[in-house]
Amino acid sequence: MNAYYFTEDHELFRESLRAFLQKEVVPYIDQWEEERRTPREIWKKMGDMGFLGLSYPQAYGGSDLDFFYDVVFNEEICKVGSGGFCITQQVVQYMSGPYILKFASEFLKQKYLPGIISGELISSIAITEPGAGSDAQNIQTKAIKNGDHYIVNGAKTFITNGVYGDFIVTVVKTDPSAGAAGVSLLVIEQAMEGVSTRKLKKLGWHASDTAEINFDNVKVPVENLIGEEGRGFYYLMQGLQLERLCAVPGAVSAMEHAIAQSLQYMSERHAFGRPINKFQVLRHRIAQLASEVECLKAFSYQCCKMYGDQIYDVKLCSMAKLLATELTEKVATQCLQFYGGYGFMEDYPMARMYRDVRVGTIGGGSSEIMREIIAKIVIDDVNYNAETTSTSIVDRSKHTPPSEQPSSDNLIEQVNSKALGAQPIGNTLKFDFGNEQIYIDGTGSTNVVSGENKAADCVINISQQDLVNLMSGSLNPMGAVMSGKIKIDGDMSVAMKLQNLFT
Amino acid sequence: MNHSVYNEDHRLFRQSFRDFLSQEIQPHIDKYEAQGKVPRSVYERFGEMGYLGLGYAEAYGGMDLDIWYNVIMAEEMNRLNSGGFAAAIGAHSGLALAHINGAGNKNQKEKYLRQGIKGQLIGCLAISEPDGGSDVQALRTTAIQDSDHYIINGSKTFITNGVNSDFIVAAVKTKPLAKSHGISMIIIDRDTPGVTATHLNKLGWRASDTGEISFQDVRVPISQLLGIEGQGFLYIMQHFVTERLAMAVNGYALSEYALEVTLQYMSERKAFGRSINKFQVLRHRIAQMAAEIEMNKSFVYSLYRRYQEGAYLVKEASMAKLLATQLSDKVTTQCLQMFGGYGFMEDYPLARMYRDTRIGQIGGGTSEILCEIISKIMIDGANYNTTK
């Protein structure tokens, strides 16, 4: 399986990262767990080694590598056996940094990205509030514009890196009276006046700091707004996919590691005169667990491959997160059992794993929320997929070969072949490319396609390339509308039929 | 989806095969289920359409297509909702013919493979015995050489197509005292004197005939030996990977189809004033199953991709079959529940699915045997690699 996804370069990277972790991290993990924090010096060391910002652009100090370097990164850090250590940097690289990379102004990118890539800055993402977790539309933290500042008031909780971090990508309501449309993202520095934090005690993830954060009349310059006002919810919907997906390869690798450790222990531990790995019931339990992990791994890699190719599938990411976190709990519970009483002792690895995995089915969208999302997709045919090109952690636009501008004659032919096979739409519809157009008359028994410029019930403003992408299925019509790639004038219900026309 | 393992030709094949099944087979499925067998004319029709020889060489009338066509065929057959029908076709083209294609000589292929691909000769594969199922090494049917013949004695059971097939590809002991290296594969024509078969009644897979076959002093020319004497165990092990992957396809494909018909039913059925697909507890159950099916399918596809590249997959194919058949048991049970009382009625599709899925964890290596194989590889470092 590995050869399909990983090149020799990936494996060399894996080797060097693994050696680094063995030398610089593993010996200190117990201490960091005890101290309830991971010291920031380790991130600076990793930054110096080039282990951070793997797929961030070189312009900000990143390495501009493909997504499977991130997969390797997550697989390796999750094998050191400390969920708290892993989450501290995952939050920076995959859960908060990408909002700045993908949506923020050049000013903010220049200000913050080089620091999180060099390991000198630690960031956090603050969505959850004491009164609202998964229901992000109903957050209460307000950011009211006052001249060239926002005045922020409210509270956030369960924020990883919220105590010792440098800045917080904060989800706020810039329009408190609106629902999702009032949500915006704001960069708030921990050092700003009015920001106070309280460190929370946790069941697991002991090497990470987790905070409740209060904002009391915090003055935040307007240039700290990420992207546009009111677009925050939309940014979150994209960013959360990466947050969910990036938990999966690490979980798989942690489970593989737990099984390997258990097998080692079972070969050494004797009971009733033989090693316990000779007992059939334990052997079959290993076989079952290993099968489930192997199966999840194939799925995980498939999802990561799609993500790396900028195919962004809410259903698959949600499924992968659900299955991975639930399986991790099962594996941790059953592997601990193999160790008997030693499993309960802190000198053996399973006790910490057992603690650390418990948050998996809660954070980043609980299992219940994952099932809500999946149910809406498979039962109600809700489509959450946003347009596909701006979702990578990296802007890969320079990697995509310039596609030939399709001629409109050729396009009419393509549209015609699709439209003929579909039900007549019952109205008239025009694709407007600016200087050229395609007109579909679906009022008769078939859809008649031409290049005429006539008034239509519904006019869709779109580029020729996007129409090609729409027809090939690489651009999702609902996502394209949501993201503003295509604009619709006239009868919206006609536009809703696009999906039927092109699938 | 851009990341599909299928290309345009695969998609066209799927569509045409689906159309064929819905026009020519689906209307008769209930009849085949009631009769307990698939008529010979159906094999001939499959043969005419080329469906029995998708992956076999053109030289023997096959289509020489890649492995994904077989996957598509297996997936689509699940939409007929008759595990027995799929088994009857599969035992012939995927088991009996596969052994002849793998180890047969030119003469054997000319006769059995060519005729088999046309659907004019029907085969079965006979390994299990009344006293030995998964423990293949211990099988007791003997084939003792007597100049230019073997004399075969013993019996085989749970053999799909065991009653109605024309030839039997049987595992026999040519060296009764030896264990695995005493096993050979041999082709026995149905009309050879001394071959008798009885029909077995089954919980599910009712459209297929399943037989117990007896051999009493059956004289078979030594030219009927498949491949090399004493290599039978190796051949069986090689084909197990293919068979287990195919059964894994059945596992997720049956689950997928069960979920599809269940979602349809739930959108129509109302309770307490709304469609039952609005009840959260049922929705989450659907979501969980959908996720597990999607993952399972992804796993099986990843293995077929490696299979195509010639990878050694004994462990992974065992894992895939283990999980996929566990999954279809779970999914059919839970989907039947969604239908309430109708789930228990033969007029609705889940009753048959519930029966048919149950053999998955038994045939082709039980779940317990699969766990044995996986744990031997993982814990004891066993190696079943038979490729040179």
Structure tokens at B156: 């085989």
Q: Other CB atoms closer than 10 Å to residue A156's CB: what's the count?
A: 27
Verify whether the Cβ–Cβ distance B296 to A295 is below 8 Å.
yes
Verify whether the Cβ–Cβ distance A284 to B294 is below 8 Å.
no
* B290 contacts on A by Cβ (under 8 Å): 319, 374, 378
Instruction: State which amino acid sits at residue B66.
Output: D
**Has residue A502 got a pLDDT over 80?**
no
* A251 contacts on B by Cβ (under 8 Å): none
Q: Which of A286, A298, A473 sits opposite B299 (nearest CB)?
A: A298
Identify whether the C-beta of residue B262 lies closer than 8 Å to the C-beta of residue B84: no
Among A67-71, A133-137, A455-459, B241-245, whose mean pLDDT is lowest? A133-137
Identify whether the C-beta of residue A431 lies closer than 8 Å to the C-beta of residue A416: no
| Stretch B79-104: mean pLDDT | 97
Task: Give yes or no for A395 touching B (CB within 8 A).
Answer: no
Q: Which of A149, A113, A138, A135 is nearest to A225 (CA)?
A: A149
CA A159 – CA B184 distance, rounded (Å):
66
* A331 phi/psi in degrees, rounded to 5: -65, -45
**Has residue A398 got a pLDDT over 70?**
no
Q: Is residue B243 among the annotated active site residues?
A: yes
To test the contact with chain A by mutation, choose from B256, B299, B327 the residue with the greatest count of A C-beta atoms within 10 A, namely B299
CA A331 – CA A48 distance, rounded (Å):
35
* Alpha helices by DSSP H, chain B: 8-20, 29-35, 40-49, 67-77, 83-90, 97-103, 106-108, 114-118, 232-268, 280-308, 314-338, 350-357, 367-379
In SS3 terms, B53-90 reads as CCCCCHHHCCCCCCHHHHHHHHHHHHHHCCHHHHHHHH
CA A436 – CA A431 distance, rounded (Å):
9
Domain limits, chain A: 1-230, 242-386, 406-502
To test the contact with chain B by mutation, choose from A379, A382, A474 the residue with the greatest count of B C-beta atoms within 10 A, namely A379
Among A477-481, B155-159, B344-348, whose mean pLDDT is lowest? A477-481
Which residues have C-beta within 8 Å of that of residue A322, sequence separation ≥ 6? A367, A370, A371, A374, B287, B288, B291
Q: Other CB atoms closer than 10 Å to residue A455's CB: what's the count?
A: 9
Q: Do the domains B233-379 and B8-122 match in fold?
A: no
Q: Which of A295, A315, A378 sits opposite B323 (nearest CB)?
A: A295
**Has residue B133 got a pLDDT over 50?**
yes
B12-47 confidence digits (pLDDT tens)? 999 999 999 999 999 999 999 999 999 999 999 999
Instruction: Classify domain B8-122 by CATH number.
Output: 1.10.540.10
pLDDT at site A115: 98
Among A198-212, A407-421, A485-499, B169-183, whose mean pLDDT is lowest? A485-499
Verify whether the Cβ–Cβ distance A287 to B378 is below 8 Å.
yes
CA B318 – CA B372 distance, rounded (Å):
10
pLDDT at site A503: 54
Identify whether the C-beta of residue A256 lies closer than 8 Å to the C-beta of residue A293: yes
Identify whether the C-beta of residue A326 lies closer than 8 Å to the C-beta of residue A367: yes
In CATH, what class is B233-379? mainly alpha
Q: How many whole angstroms from its chain centre is CA A4?
A: 23
As a whole number, the mean pLDDT across chain A is: 89
Among A329-333, A461-465, B249-253, B258-262, whose mean pLDDT is lowest? A461-465
Q: Which of A299, A372, A379 sits opposite B295 (nearest CB)?
A: A299
Verify whether the Cβ–Cβ distance A322 to B368 is below 8 Å.
no
- What own/partner pairs with CB < 8 Å and gap ≥ 24 does B138-141 have? B138/B179, B139/B171, B139/B172, B139/B173, B139/B183, B140/B173, B140/B176, B141/B170, B141/B171, B141/B172, B141/B173, B141/B215
| Stretch B114-124: mean pLDDT | 98
Verify whether the Cβ–Cβ distance B306 to A1 is below 8 Å.
yes
* A473 contacts on B by Cβ (under 8 Å): 1-2
Identify whether the C-beta of residue B155 lies closer than 8 Å to the C-beta of residue B139: no
pLDDT at site A121: 98
**Has residue A479 got a pLDDT over 90?**
no
Task: Give yes or no for A277 touching B (CB within 8 A).
Answer: yes
**Has residue A493 got a pLDDT over 70?**
no
Task: Give yes or no for A258 touching B (CB within 8 A).
Answer: no
DSSP assignment of A123-160 equals: EEEE--BTTBSS-GGG---EEEEETTEEEEEEEEEEEE
Three-state DSSP at A234 gives helix
CA A453 – CA B25 distance, rounded (Å):
50
Among A116-120, A351-355, A446-450, B16-20, whose mean pLDDT is lowest? A446-450
CA B121 – CA B114 distance, rounded (Å):
9
From B243, B256, B292, B316, active-site residue = B243
In CATH, what class is B125-229? mainly beta
pLDDT at site B159: 97
pLDDT at site A412: 81
Q: Other CB atoms closer than 10 Å to residue A342's CB: what's the count?
A: 15
As a whole number, the mean pLDDT across chain B is: 95
| Stretch A472-489: mean pLDDT | 66
**Has residue A391 got a pLDDT over 90?**
no
In CATH, what class is A1-230? mainly beta
DSSP B129: B
End-to-end CA distance of chain B: 38
| Stretch A430-441: mean pLDDT | 85
Domain limits, chain B: 8-122, 125-229, 233-379
User: Which residues sit opposite A310 in a β-bridge?
Assistant: none
Verify whether the Cβ–Cβ distance B379 to A267 is below 8 Å.
yes
Helical axes B367-379 vs A280-308, angle rounded to 10°: 80
CA torsion sign for A57, A61, A63, A68 is negative
In CATH, what class is A406-502? alpha beta
Identify whether the C-beta of residue A335 lies closer than 8 Å to the C-beta of residue A353: yes
- Percentage of residues of chain A with pLDDT beyond 70: 90
Query: Residue A366 half-sphere exposure, CB side, CA atoms within 13 Å?
Result: 11
Q: What angle do CA A444, A446, A451 make, to 5 degrees?
A: 90
Exposed (0-12), middle (13-18) or buried (19+): which is A422, by Cβ within 10 Å? Answer: middle
DSSP B175: S
Among A62-76, A314-328, A456-470, B41-55, whose mean pLDDT is lowest? A456-470
A347-385 confidence digits (pLDDT tens)? 999 999 999 999 999 998 999 999 999 999 999 988 876
In SS3 terms, A159-185 reads as EECCCCCCEEEEEEECCCCCCHHHEEE
* Alpha helices by DSSP H, A61-118: 67-77, 83-90, 97-103, 106-118
ipTM comes to 0.90
Question: Parallel, antiparallel, or unpaired: how do β-strands B210-221 and B183-189 relate?
Answer: unpaired
Q: Which of A438, A315, A406 is nearest to B295 (CA)?
A: A315
End-to-end CA distance of chain A: 32
Q: Which of A449, A462, A436 is nearest to A501 (CA)?
A: A449
More confident site: A216 or A458: A216
| Stretch B243-272: mean pLDDT | 96
Q: Give A476's pLDDT tier (boundaries 50, 70, 90).
A: low
Instruction: State which amino acid sits at residue A28.
Output: Y
CA B25 – CA B18 distance, rounded (Å):
10
Q: Other CB atoms closer than 10 Å to residue B135's CB: what's the count?
A: 11
- CATH architecture for the domain at A242-386: Up-down Bundle (1.20)
| Stretch B53-77: mean pLDDT | 97
pLDDT at site A368: 94
Q: Which chain B residue has its CA at the smallest distance from A283's CA?
A: B375
DSSP A341: G
User: Which residues sit opposite A188 in a β-bridge?
Assistant: A168
Identify whether the C-beta of residue A5 lies closer than 8 Å to the C-beta of residue A70: no
Task: Give yes or no for A290 touching B (CB within 8 A).
Answer: yes
Identify whether the C-beta of residue B235 lies closer than 8 Å to the C-beta of residue B103: yes
**Has residue A310 got a pLDDT over 60?**
yes
Structure tokens at A276: 């316990």
Q: Give B80's pLDDT tier (boundaries 50, 70, 90).
A: very high
Task: Chain A: give the shortest CA distance to residue B358, in Å.
Answer: 19
Q: Give A478's pLDDT tier (boundaries 50, 70, 90).
A: low
What are the CA-CA distances from residue B133 to residues B19, B91, B139 (Å)?
Answer: 38, 17, 8
**Has residue B2 got a pLDDT over 50?**
no
Three-state DSSP at B148 gives coil
